[in-house]
A and B are shown apart, each in its own frame.
Chain A
Amino acid sequence: MAKSPEEEHPQKAFGWAARDSSGLLSPFHFSRRETGDGDVTIKILYCGVCHSDLHNVKNEWGFTMYPIVPGHEIVGTVTKTGKNVKKFKVGDRVGVGVIVESCKRCESCQQDLENYCPQTILTYNSYSQDGAKTYGGYSDIVVVDEHYVLRFPENLPPDAGAPLLCAGITVYSPMKYYGITEPGKHLGVAGLGGLGHVAVKIGKAFGLKVTVISTSLKKEEEAINKLGADSFLVSSDPAKMKAAINTMDYIIDTVSAVHPLGPLLSLLKLNGKLINVGLPEKPLELPIFPLAMGRKLVGGSDIGGIKETQEMLDFCAKHGITADIELIKMGDINTAMERLAKSDVKYRFVIDVANSLSQ
């Protein structure tokens, strides 16, 4: 008979899990594997609440395996290291993002693109190579192969830095890959949530001119005065959209609601690039004529490899970039999820795990 989550591994663990598609989280006793030779055991201090967590607890993507402990923006302290571990020692400040294993042999893994490995194991809701389900960072400890653990820079605050482990790399990686790093060029950021607000900050750090594209006029003041965007475009205002035609070199589209791509494409100059990082459930409408007439392209990107995630953290530490967060207690997670569903957060919830997760 299969062992219960509490008994399947030797190290006791405690967290909050969702049991069904209501998505409601509640206390959950489970266990973590023994610290293997290549593993690092981490006491979790903070964990960001990513919108993917919300999609997953409610099984909106159809592949949730309950019970599910979400959380893939984890920052903590090393408490144990396996005997072959070279990069970390007890007491180090570390981070864990979206991936905890990959095959290490395929072309993608060889190129430091573990995120595109067909056998990637996710931090939660996946099956590990030992056959056990993975549980995420809404919990007290986690055990991870050192290859997938990030060194968390000392000068990055662990709470406001936690969201970088998913939101940060999700926008940083395509900016590097698609060349959205040339000072003076014009970047549009569609959607001002967890991903969008970090994209604005990283874009400014690259020396780009940044325009936020949003349906909500009330986000303008903060976009410009607090986040440092150069301008703000209300996408539901036809006159303003028309005036902005053919002005942007790139657009990072973080919007996960279904929306037509035509209006965004028209904002791009010749050879402009529209990069999707949001995950709409249904296909989006794409007109082909404007794509051909302007030799434009629509690309996708999915988080980033471990090496690049480390590079991103170091970049953010150097430029003083963190997420804007609202720190919450573990017990408030369900309310936070409800507010997240209404985009009522500026701009990421982060759970103060160490101080509020009590058995």
Chain B
Amino acid sequence: MAKSPELEHPNKAFGWAARDTSGLLSPFNFSRRVTGEKDVTFKVLFCGICHSDLHMVKNEWGSSIYPLIPGHEIVGVVTEVGSKVQKFKVGDKVGVGCMVGACHSCDNCDNHLENYCPKMILTYSAKYYDGTITYGGYSDTMVSDEHFVVRIPDNLPLDAGAPLLCAGITVYSPLRFYGLDKPGMHVGVVGLGGLGHVAVKFAKAMGVKVTVISTSPNKKKEALEHLGADSFLVSKDQDQMQAAQGTMDGIIDTVSAQHPLLPLIGLLKTQGKLVMVGAPEKPLELPVFPLLMGRKLLGGSCIGGMKETQEMIDFAAKHNITADIEVIPIDYVNTAMERLLKTDVRYRFVIDIGNTLKSSN
């Protein structure tokens, strides 16, 4: 008979888990494995709430394994390292993002693209090498193979830095890969949420001119004055959109709701690139004529490899880029999820695990 989550591993752990598709989270006793020779164990201090967590607790993608502890923007302080660990020591500030395992032998892994490895293991709701289910960062401790741990530089605040581990790399990677990082370029960012606001900050730090494209005119002031965007386009305003036709080298589209692509393709210059990082569940409609007539392209991107994630964290530390966050206690998490559903947050909730997640044991 399979062991219960509490008994399957030797080290006690505590977190909050969803038990069913209602997605409601509540206290959950479970266990973590012993620190293996290549593992890093750390006390979790903060964990960001990614919109993916909301999709997963409700099984919206059909892949959820209950009970499910979400959280893949995890930061904390190392408490134990395995005998073969080289990069970290006790007391180091570290983070773990969306992955905790990969095959290490395919072309993708060899090219530091663990995120595209067909055997990549997600930080939560996935089957680990030992057959047990992975549990994420809404919990008091985390154990991870050192390969999937990043160092958090001293000058990066842990709470506001946590969301970079998913939101940050998700927008940083395509800005680099699709060459939308050259000073003087003009890049549009569609959607001003967790991904979007970080995209604006990274692009500005790369010397790029940034236009935020949004359905909500009331986000304009903040986009320009607080986030540093150069301009703001209300996507439902035909005149504004028309005036901006053919002006952008690239667009990072963070919107996961269904939305039309034609107006966005029109904003691109000849040879412009529209990059999808939001994940609508249903297919979108792609008009082909405008793609051809300007030799434009539409690409996708999914998080980033470990080497690039560390590079992104170091870049953020150097340029003082962090997420704009609302820190919450763990027992606010269900309310936070409801607000997240209505995009009522500027722009990421971060759970203060260290101070508020206490086991009743």
A residues sitting closer than 8 Å to B (CB atoms) are 107-108, 113, 116, 174, 177, 260-262, 270, 276-280, 283-302
Specify which chain A residues have a CB less than 8 angstroms from the CB of B289 in the assembled complex. 279
Specify which chain B residues have a CB less than 8 angstroms from the CB of A260 in the assembled complex. 283
B292→A301 contact, CB < 8 A: yes
Which residue of chain B has its CB nearest to the CB of A280?
Answer: B288
A285→B286 contact, CB < 8 A: yes
A295→B300 contact, CB < 8 A: yes
* Cα–Cα distance between A283 and B293 once the two chains are bound (Å): 14
A291→B283 contact, CB < 8 A: no
Within 8 A of A (CB), among B183-217: none
Specify which chain A residues have a CB less than 8 angstroms from the CB of B282 in the assembled complex. 287
A293→B302 contact, CB < 8 A: yes
* Cα–Cα distance between A301 and B297 once the two chains are bound (Å): 9
A291→B299 contact, CB < 8 A: yes
A287→B262 contact, CB < 8 A: no
Specify which chain A residues have a CB less than 8 angstroms from the CB of B177 in the assembled complex. 295
Within 8 A of A (CB), among B53-87: none
Seed contacts A260-B283, A292-B279; 15 additional CB < 8 Å A-B pairs? A262-B283, A270-B107, A276-B292, A278-B288, A285-B283, A286-B261, A286-B298, A288-B280, A295-B299, A296-B299, A297-B298, A298-B299, A299-B297, A299-B298, A301-B295
B292→A294 contact, CB < 8 A: no
Main secondary structure of the interface of A (DSSP, over half): mixed
* Cα–Cα distance between A140 and B301 once the two chains are bound (Å): 52
Which residue of chain B has its CB nearest to the CB of A246?
Answer: B118
Specify which chain B residues have a CB less than 8 angstroms from the CB of A288 in the assembled complex. 276, 278-280, 283-284, 300
What are 30 A-B contacts defined by CB distance under 8 Å?
A107-B270, A174-B295, A270-B116, A276-B288, A278-B288, A279-B289, A280-B288, A284-B286, A284-B288, A285-B284, A286-B261, A286-B286, A288-B300, A291-B300, A292-B300, A292-B301, A293-B300, A294-B116, A295-B116, A295-B300, A296-B300, A297-B299, A297-B300, A298-B297, A298-B299, A299-B296, A300-B292, A300-B296, A301-B292, A302-B293
Specify which chain B residues have a CB less than 8 angstroms from the CB of A286 in the assembled complex. 261, 283-286, 298
Specify which chain A residues have a CB less than 8 angstroms from the CB of B18 in the assembled complex. none
* Cα–Cα distance between A276 and B296 once the two chains are bound (Å): 10
Minimum CB–CB distance from B208 to chain A (whole Å) comes to: 19
Q: How many residue pairs at the A-B interface have CB separations less than 8 Å? A: 111
* Cα–Cα distance between A301 and B296 once the two chains are bound (Å): 7
Residue in A113, A296, A297 with the greatest tally of chain B CB atoms within 10 Å: A297
Specify which chain B residues have a CB less than 8 angstroms from the CB of A293 in the assembled complex. 116, 300, 302
Minimum CB–CB distance from B138 to chain A (whole Å) comes to: 25
Please pick, from A113, A284, A291, the residue contacting B276 in the complex, using a CB distance under 8 A.
A291
Please pick, from A116, A177, A292, A301, the residue contacting B302 in the complex, using a CB distance under 8 A.
A292
Residue in A113, A116, A288 with the greatest tally of chain B CB atoms within 10 Å: A288
* Cα–Cα distance between A333 and B177 once the two chains are bound (Å): 49
* Cα–Cα distance between A283 and B264 once the two chains are bound (Å): 14
A300→B300 contact, CB < 8 A: no
Specify which chain A residues have a CB less than 8 angstroms from the CB of B261 in the assembled complex. 283, 286
B285→A284 contact, CB < 8 A: yes
A283→B292 contact, CB < 8 A: no
B301→A295 contact, CB < 8 A: yes
B277 CB–A CB distance under 8 Å: yes
* Cα–Cα distance between A291 and B41 once the two chains are bound (Å): 34
Question: With A116-B270, A270-B116 in contact, is A300–B280 under 8 Å at CB?
Answer: no
B113→A270 contact, CB < 8 A: yes
B263 CB–A CB distance under 8 Å: no
Minimum CB–CB distance from B245 to chain A (whole Å) comes to: 11
Minimum CB–CB distance from B299 to chain A (whole Å) comes to: 4
A270→B108 contact, CB < 8 A: yes
B91 CB–A CB distance under 8 Å: no
* Cα–Cα distance between A298 and B295 once the two chains are bound (Å): 10
Specify which chain A residues have a CB less than 8 angstroms from the CB of B291 in the assembled complex. 276, 298-300
Minimum CB–CB distance from B351 to chain A (whole Å) comes to: 26
Minimum CB–CB distance from A72 to chain B (whole Å) comes to: 16
B297→A300 contact, CB < 8 A: yes
* Cα–Cα distance between A174 and B108 once the two chains are bound (Å): 26
* Cα–Cα distance between A268 and B75 once the two chains are bound (Å): 36
Minimum CB–CB distance from B54 to chain A (whole Å) comes to: 17
